[in-house]
Structures are given as structure tokens and as C-alpha cells.
Amino acid sequence: MPHANPRYPATPPPASGRDHRRVVVVGGGLVGLTLALDLARHGVAVTLLDEEDSVATGSRAICFAKRTLEIYGRLGLGEKLLARGVTWKTGRVFHQDRQVYAFDLLPEEGHRYPAFVNIQQYHVEAWLVEACAEAGVDLRWRHQVTGLAADADGVTLTVTTPSGAYALRADWLLACDGARSFIRRSLGLPLHGQVFQDRFLIADVVIRGEVAFPAERWFWFDPPFHPGQSVLLHKQPDELWRIDFQLGAEADPESEQQPERVRARVAAMLGPDVPFELEWVSLYTFRCRRLDRFVQGRVVLAGDSAHQVSPFGARGGNGGVQDADNLAWKLAAILRGEAGPALLASYEAERIAAAEENILHSTRATDFISPKTPAARAYRDAVLELAEGHAFARALVNSGRLSRPAVLADSPLNAADDGTWPGGAETGSPAPDAPVRHQGRPDWLLRHLGGEFALLVFDAVWTPVPGLRAVFVTAEETPGTLWDHSGLAAARYGAPPGGAVLIRPDQHIAARFAAPRPGAIRAALARALGQMEHAA
Amino acid sequence: MKLDTSPRLADPDAIFARLVEAHLGLDEAASRRLDARLVLILANHVGDEAVLRQAIALARDPAPPNARR
Ligand SMILES: Cc1cc2nc3c(=O)[nH]c(=O)nc-3n(C[C@H](O)[C@H](O)[C@H](O)COP(=O)(O)OP(=O)(O)OC[C@H]3O[C@@H](n4cnc5c(N)ncnc54)[C@H](O)[C@@H]3O)c2cc1C
């Protein structure tokens, strides 16, 4: 019954014992695969090495946030995640035997993707592998990086395979080799942050037939079935449920994973008459920390190799996918000779700010969930006691602040507004989606932005800068435009008639023009490519 | 806004007595939670983060400025 991962054939090493590639991604996990696919879509030849011959095993990421779904939408996988995954947006918080409150993460209509889709990481990785293969990524399974020598123009790797080792020269090395990153350790890069002592038990449980829980996120503080600790429940596809049991710092990792012990914990929660099977059990401790720099010469780190968070808030995988989204177009522009080192520096600036935000939220959530002092515990319990009856205290309950898209508000790539922009999404935020009609059919705005720079033009049909793709959004039905029939597009961008918004290839807003002029748009485009000296 | 530390209570003895009475019959842990609830309720009533920061700093170090070493 347990899920069987696909196995990929081990790739033979090059016969000559050496090889030279322009771009090498190390690590075929969630982030490395996303990055390789995005680079390939930008026309970059990519080689990807993974020491295994398969995708993630067991319980890893399940909660994929709206922004990640939009990124996978851009890469052509969004519909698959929607169709196969479990859509949810409601969460409930319980204290002891009472519900304290419920929350709705996406209370408004008119979005292609929901707040969250739950789907096993191994499914997503398997689709990414297929898409990478189709896009021409050179995938090398059972290729383990075991040595590294970096210089100014690139890196020489020692790669060990079942049929021998070879030397691989890479002009660019993208380190997506996970939390225990060999590359990070070889370069001697320290992680700074916090290590938590509390142990958590993760059980993936198959429950067939009637189930008393809906597809929502349920979080218990100090429930009767697991006193003194917290429990988190999530629905996954395939009649599978994810249960996290907080065990405390004293728990014994050996005995806690014994099936009988785990079964007893699950039975106490589900009740005596609910039949279930254990699919996967593991024990975790958490870290909230990051590197000081994500770029080291020709080595760029992304995902868990660069930063780690606790799972409360689902910020690990979702953060890493946004790293890939941020890096791919920039490296592609650099390789095409359209941009220089400043654009790569912006990857670091933007993603360090995002990692800081993720670390802050996930540290605070972990501190709330497992208080470390009697005072912290008293405040935590006081909040929970007040929360059921009083809205102000509900705002203080922190069972994980769920992943939100990074707003790159302080990015060096952003240009200032050219005048007064009435409101809506700020510069640096991801481009909001909106329902539109295209050639008489219902459609979504984001689908038309694509993966290159685009200028969204509201209520006007003209192309101010030749060579820059314009996407027209009109309040009236007009041939050749996206009809903003509900007015939601104009409202979400806060766009005045005739206004325009410059969208980056990763679909973040780079600049807004209340009165678009070609010169200002060109300057903003140069700025968004890191060519600051051209920016007015 | 600046934290107001001027005497503002009309009947200070009564308020002091109320605070102590509220803890009657509570054990150490319950007493601590009561204080925590009280602080949270008052913090929300004050609402101003700058004032709360000053109040926290004062609570941590109540000695008058000229008594500090
Ligand atoms: C229990 C749990 C629950 C989680 N839940 C969520 C969630 O709900 N939502 C969310 O967003 N995130 C979640 N996460 C976090 C998420 O799983 C990680 O952040 C994500 O997998 C990071 O992706 P990555 O590609 O950076 O690293 P990984 O997925 O760890 O991939 C690293 C890859 O590198 C390869 N590799 C390593 N060393 C070498 C080498 N020397 N040579 C070649 N290949 C190498 C490995 O084989 C692996 O394939 C969870 C994590 C855990 C543990």
C-alpha cells in the first residue's frame, strides 16, 4: 500500500572522466528541480545532479501556498497541483476541549489559485522531473558531489557515481542540495540562527471511509488526547492525513517511533473505532537560521541549503520555490549578456529579506507553540484563555503564520512611481491575479503575463516601448485586450485609466506609471535589470 | 506617545486591594496566568506600541534614572 516513488535509471558518467557545463544545479529536490525547469524555460542549458535516483521519500512538504501555485502556473504545472491536491483555506484552533476560533485565509473571490493546496512533495517533484526532461534539462541521477574547488570563473566538482567518479567544471554552480548541503559545508559557510530542542513526531496516516475531519488545518493546544503538547492535522490526497504531535525536548527518538507507540497516540486522537494505517512515521527537530550571503562568486545557494525554518507556517518549500523563481530569470539575463553582477546581487538582497521574514515568523510561531520559560507559557496560556471570547486575543494566537508571498518592497530593482498612484498592489509585490475575459472566454490575467518582462496597460491600447510586450486590460470589451469585466484587475492594481505597470519575468511589480512615458519605462526596465546607472 | 507615569488613580489603595484580591485562592501557576491575562487586556486597551515598549522598559528597570549606576 505505501506510495511507491518512481525510480530513475542511474546516469553513466562521461567516458572521458571530465566534463564542462555552463550551469550546474546540485540537488534534484523541490528547489533544484524548480530552478532547473525555470532556467530551461528561459532557454538556458542546465545540468542537474542528484545523489539519489528518486524524488523525496516520506513526509515532507504538503502545504503549497497560492504564490507557489502561481509560480507553478507560470511553469505549466499549476493545473496539475489543483486537480490532484486538496484545496483548503480554513483553519481552526482548539484549546483543550474547545474550539477557540476559525480563520479563512482567502476570504475574497476571483483568484485562479486558492490560499493553499495540500499535496505530497513527492508528487510535485515527480511532475517537475517529467517537465524538466521535456524541457531538455540534462538530469543525472546517482551523481553525488563529493569534492569542490571554487575559483573566480567557476567551480570544479568531483562527482561520484556508481560507475566511478569524474571531474565536472561548471561556470555557475547552483547549490540546491538541501539542509545538510555539502556545498555549503565545503565552502565553510556558517548558518546563523536558532536550533530548537523540542521534538515533533510526524505521522502520515491512511484513514478509509467516513472521517470526522474536513479538509481544513486543525491545530490543538493542550488537547485532552495529547495533554500538555500541541497537535496539527492536515488532509492530503489519497485518504492520507498528516498529524504532527509535539513531544517535548525529553522525548526519546528511538521508542517514540515504534509503531505501537505511534498507533496509540493516533488512536487516542481519532477514537477507538476508527480504523487507520500508518504510512510513514518520522521524528523531527527544527532550526530557524540562514547564511549571511547567498552568492559566493560563481556559487549561488537556494532553498534549504541557504535557509531553514520550522514547518509551522509552511515557509520552507514555499520560500525555496520563490528563491528559484527569483534566480532563474536573473541568471538567464546574465548569461545572455543583458545584465551584470548587480542583478545577481539583487537575488541576494531580495531573498535575504524574504528569508528574514520567514525566519522571524517561524521562530515566533515556534516560541508560541513550545514556550521555553514559565513566563512564556503563562502568556501563551493567557492568550488562549482569552481568545475564544475576545477578538483581540485571537490575533495573538500564533499556531503558525502561514506562508505569504514576499513583497520585495526595498528591492534595488524597484523604480519610484512617476506620480500619484491611487493604491492597490505596491511595487515589489507579486502581480495580483484577476478574472478577465479573453476572446469571449473566461480567463485569468496572470496567464497572459508569461515569463518575460511585460507592461500591463490599463484602458489604453498602445505599445510605448517597442520590444517590450504589452498586455492590455480594458474596462469595456475591446478586440485584442483582456476584458476586466468585473473591474477586479483595475481595483487590485489600483490602476488609473491610461496607467501602466511594469511586470518582471518572475511576475513581481517593478514599476508603476500613472502617465506612462517611453523614457521613464525604459529607465525602469534598465533598473529592473540591475543597470542602475541608466535609471533616472 | 509618551508613557504617562504621573499619579492618575483616584483611589490607589482600592486599586491595589483589587489587584491582590483577584489572586485569592489561586495557586502559583494560575496566579501567573491571571497577571498575564490582565497585562494582555490592558496592553490591548492601551494599543500604542511605543507606550507599551516604554512600560516594559520601566517594569524591567524600575529604579529612578539618577539611582542608576
Ligand atoms: C516534516 C516536514 C514538513 C514540511 N512541510 C512543509 C510544507 O507543508 N510546506 C513547505 O513549503 N515546506 C515544508 N517543509 C519544508 C520543505 O520540505 C523543504 O523546505 C524543501 O524540501 C526544501 O527543498 P530543497 O530542494 O532546498 O531541499 P531538498 O528537498 O532537501 O532537496 C535536496 C536534494 O539535494 C540532493 N543532494 C544532497 N546532497 C547532494 C550531493 N552532495 N550531491 C548531489 N545531490 C545531493 C538530495 O538528494 C535532494 O534531492 C517541510 C519539511 C519537513 C521535514
Cα separations (Å) of A435 from A32, A268, A442? 32, 45, 7
All three cell numbers of A462, joined, read 498602445
Residue B5 lies in a domain: no
State which residues of chain A have pLDDT below 70: 1-2, 533-536
CA A28 to ligand 1 centroid distance, Å: 9
Domain residue extents for chain A: 18-86+112-192+288-339, 435-535
Distance of alpha carbon A120 from its chain centroid, rounded?
14
Number of structural domains found in chain B: 1
The reply to whether ligand 1 has any atom less than 6 angstroms from the CB of A318 is yes
Within a domain: B24 = yes
A471/A473 Cα distance (integer angstroms): 7
B53 lies in a domain? Answer: yes
H helical segments located in A233-315: 253-256, 259-270
CATH number of A18-86+112-192+288-339: 3.50.50.60
User: Would you state the pLDDT for residue A536?
Assistant: 41
pLDDT tens digit sequence for A203-241: 999 998 788 889 999 999 999 999 999 999 999 998 999
Q: Do B40 and A396 touch (CB under 8 A)?
A: yes
CB contacts, 8 Å: A383 with chain B: 40
Residue B2 lies in a domain: no
Cβ distance of B36 and A392 shorter than 8 Å = no
Is A435-535 in CATH node 3.40.30.120? yes
Question: Does ligand 1 have an atom closer than 6 angstroms to the CB of A312?
Answer: no
pLDDT, mean over chain B = 95
- Does ligand 1 come within 6 angstroms of the Cβ of A319? no
- Specify the pLDDT at position A107: 78
Q: What pLDDT score was predicted for residue A1?
A: 47
Q: Which of A462, A451, A464, A438 is nearest to A503 (CA)?
A: A451
Neighbours of B49 (CB within 10 A): 10
**Helical pair A66-74 and A316-335, crossing angle rounded to 10 deg:** 30
Domain presence at residue B1: no
What pLDDT sits at residue A534? Answer: 46
Whether B36 and A393 lie within 8 Å, measured CB to CB: no
Segment A63-109, tens digit of pLDDT: 999 999 999 999 999 999 999 999 998 999 999 999 999 999 877 88
Per the structure, the complete domain to which residue B34 belongs is given by 12-67
Please list the alpha-helical segments (H only) found in A448-509.
488-493
